[in-house]
């Protein structure tokens, strides 16, 4: 399972889908499993070449979860503080 995020707007251009989590699991037919991925400040920050420091901006983020980067399972949330 893979977790991708995208910051819709901000002070720097960001990748359309940025891989932030990956976990390989094996399931038998009919089996299910629950996974969780952290999405805290460490996962939301990025390196700014302009400020030469790590940056966390309060912005709207799109999140995708699925088997690869083309997954359609998505949601959006707003981050108000770092």
Task: Examine residue 47 and state whether it is found in any structural domain, yes or no.
Answer: yes
Task: Examine residue 31 and state whether it is found in any structural domain, yes or no.
Answer: no
Tokens of 25: 């699991």
Q: What is the CATH number of the domain that holds 43?
A: 2.60.40.10
Quote the number of domains for the chain: 1
Task: Examine residue 74 and state whether it is found in any structural domain, yes or no.
Answer: yes
For residues 41-58, one letter each, b for 16 or more C-beta atoms within 10 angstroms of the residue's C-beta and e for the rest, the string is: eeebeeeeeeeeeeebbe
Task: Examine residue 30 and state whether it is found in any structural domain, yes or no.
Answer: no
pTM of the complete model: 0.82
Q: Where are the alpha helices (DSSP H) in the chain?
A: 41-44
What is d(CA 22, CA 25) in angstroms, rounded to the nearest whole number? 10
pLDDT of residue 82: 54
**What would the pLDDT profile of 12-56 be if each residue is shown by its tens digit?**
888 899 999 999 999 999 999 999 999 889 999 899 888 899 998
Give the residue numbers spanning the domain of 46: 2-23+36-78
């Amino acid at each position: 399972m893979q977790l991708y995020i995208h910051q819709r707007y901000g002070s720097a251009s960001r990748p359309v889908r940025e891989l932030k989590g990956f976990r390989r699991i094996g399931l038998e037919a009919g089996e299910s499993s629950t996974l969780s991925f952290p999405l805290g400040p460490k996962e939301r920050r990025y390196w700014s070449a302009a400020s030469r420091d790590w940056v966390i901006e309060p912005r709207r983020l799109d999140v995708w979860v699925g088997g690869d980067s083309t997954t359609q399972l998505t949601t959006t949330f707003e981050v108000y503080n770092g």
